[in-house]
Structure 1
Amino acid sequence: MPKIQLETIINIADINIVFNLIRSIDLHKISTKNSKEEAISGKTSGLISLNETVTWRAKHLGFTQELTSIITDFKAPTFFADEMVHGAFKSFRHEHYLELKEEKVIVKDIFHYVSPLGVLGKIADVIFLKRYMQHFLIERNKVIKDYAESGKWREVLENELL
């Protein structure tokens, strides 16, 4: 089972802002503009919370796909996890850990996934899929960091409770 671990340091002292940006459906749409992700059912805007689902339609690796995930664990503002219910992977779990340290928020992502297609999926992991997913998560985290540090978070979270 491939595992991707990332750490992003965000120069802001408000862990709630970062936590809410990470779970914002609206910011997710902005951060995934290259794959044109669109929330088509479940929670389609605002902040996703425990036991809520979202179904995304997006173009990845040249194919239009739909993926439904659910928030399975939630402890605001330091942790939540989402897991795939339906989609191209055999399974995945994305854990988001946040810690406030010295006026900065440290975000740790742990993404476990199982590719479909057995041996062919394992070969795809080695050749390109793990790198593709890591790049996807890094680019998303860059947008989260930018919105948090620049004050643009207000554009996304202005109607949400902090």
Structure 2
Amino acid sequence: MDSRLPCTVADPVAKTVVRIAADKSAIPGGLVPALHAVQEALGWIPPEAVPAIAGAFNRSRAEVHGVVSFYHDFRTTPPAQHQLRICRAEACQSMGADGVLAEAERILGCRMHEQTADGSMSLEPVYCLGQCAVAPALTVDERLWVRVTPDRIAEILDQARQETL
């Protein structure tokens, strides 16, 4: 293990973070790929991983935290069981995505960038799914839904919940 990599995370997590940070630190501009790799491996970027990543890239913890907090794709909390992503691009908004979002927030009891109290679903924005001709669009996990209306969102969410039973 590289002595430049301070790590205070739990042992299995520490090994993963240290390995990824060491692998990516040799790559110019490797900080963002390292953060993506940590998130892919762990599902999120635990705050305790920041010191190891900072050490590997000879950056301050504040700099690494700044990168993590700047990009919306990075999660600093464990992910929900399912991710609902509603397109917020102009075409979807012009076709009624705001109404879909409002109904999703009402049903789930959470707002954008949050998750349900039971951790079963998170609500996230996405800024184009490439489905402008059949807007508004959303995804539940990797499944794409198009021409979504506020009336359909409850059915879509029920179907997602049933698929995991």
TM range (shorter): under 0.3
Structure with bigger gyration radius: 2
Answer 1 or 2: which has greater helix percent.
Answer: 2
Q: Could you tell me the TM-score, scaled by structure 2's length?
A: 0.24
Q: Could you tell me the TM-score, scaled by structure 1's length?
A: 0.24
Answer 1 or 2: which has greater strand percent.
Answer: 1
